[in-house]
Structure 1
Amino acid sequence: MELLKNILVVLHLIGWAIVLGGTLTHLRTPKIAVGVLHGALTALVTGILIVGVAEMSDDLRDPDMAKIAVKLTVALVVTALVVVGQRRPEKVTTGYLAGIAGLTAANVAVAVLWH
């Protein structure tokens, strides 16, 4: 079970890396990069699976549901921003991409700093 959780964490981090990298590389010419939606969906789905695996494990620590709620909310907002940005590319500005990148960095910070 621990191996599965670790694999999901790696995939989760790769998903967020795709979102962050894709948005930062297009700040000069604002548009949503091709793989950013796939990265956001990968991070969202693997995050949900990580919580499911953690709930099923025999670990004595229960997952912090407040932290999970915050991370899920931010992940849903990032995914929604990416979807809207792809469907309405004229709405994408440098600030729009900076918002996606900032929320992505905030989600990673919550994961690391919230104990």
Structure 2
Amino acid sequence: MRLAYDILLFLHLVGWAIVLGGTIVTLREARLPKGALHGILTALVTGIAMVGLAQASDELRDPNNAKIAVKLVIALVVTGLIVYGTRRPEKVTRGLAGAILGLTVVNVAVAAIWR
């Protein structure tokens, strides 16, 4: 069970890294990176799977539900912004890309700091 959780955690971090790194690289051009949609969907799905696995396992620590709720809301907002920007690339502004970047950083900070 622990190995499956660790693999999901690795994929979750890779998904957020794709969104963060890609958005930083394309911020000046006011466009979304090609892999942003795949990255956020990977992060969202693996995050939900990690919570389910932690809830079902006796060997893993029970997740903090308030922290998970905050992270889920932020992830859903980032997903919505990326889907919007992917469907309408002509509407992508530096503000939209900056919002995605900022919310991604907040989500990573919540994960790292909130205990």
Q: TM-score over 0.5 for the alignment?
A: yes
What band does the TM-score fall into relative to the shorter chain?
over 0.9
C-alpha distance in 2 between matches for 1:61 and 1:31: 39
Q: TM-score normalized by structure 2?
A: 0.95
Q: Which amino acid aligns with 2:53?
A: V
Offset at residue 109 of structure 1 (A): 0.6
| Aligned counterparts, 1:9-48, within 5 A | 9-48=9-48
Aligned-CA RMSD value = 1.1
Say how many residue pairs are matched: 115
C-alpha distance in 2 between matches for 1:95 and 1:74: 17
Distance 1:60 1:28, change over 3 A: closer
Q: Return 5+ residue gaps in structure 2 as ranges.
A: none
Q: Could you tell me which residue of structure 2 aligns to residue 69 of structure 1?
A: 69
Q: Could you tell me which residue of structure 1 aligns to residue 49 of structure 2?
A: 49
Q: Return 5+ residue gaps in structure 1 as ranges.
A: none
Divergent runs of 4+, >4 A: none
- Of 88-97 and 1-10, deviating more is 88-97
Q: Which amino acid aligns with 1:17?
A: A
C-alpha distance in 2 between matches for 1:18 and 1:10: 12
Q: Could you tell me which residue of structure 2 aligns to residue 98 of structure 1?
A: 98
C-alpha distance in 2 between matches for 1:2 and 1:60: 7
Q: TM-score normalized by structure 1?
A: 0.95
Q: Could you tell me which residue of structure 2 aligns to residue 83 of structure 1?
A: 83
Q: Which amino acid aligns with 2:64?
A: D
- Of 1-10 and 87-96, deviating more is 87-96
Offset at residue 61 of structure 1 (A): 3.9
Offset at residue 33 of structure 1 (A): 1.2
Per-residue CA distance 1:7-61 (angstroms, 9 max, x = gap): 1000000000000111111111111111100000000000000001101111374
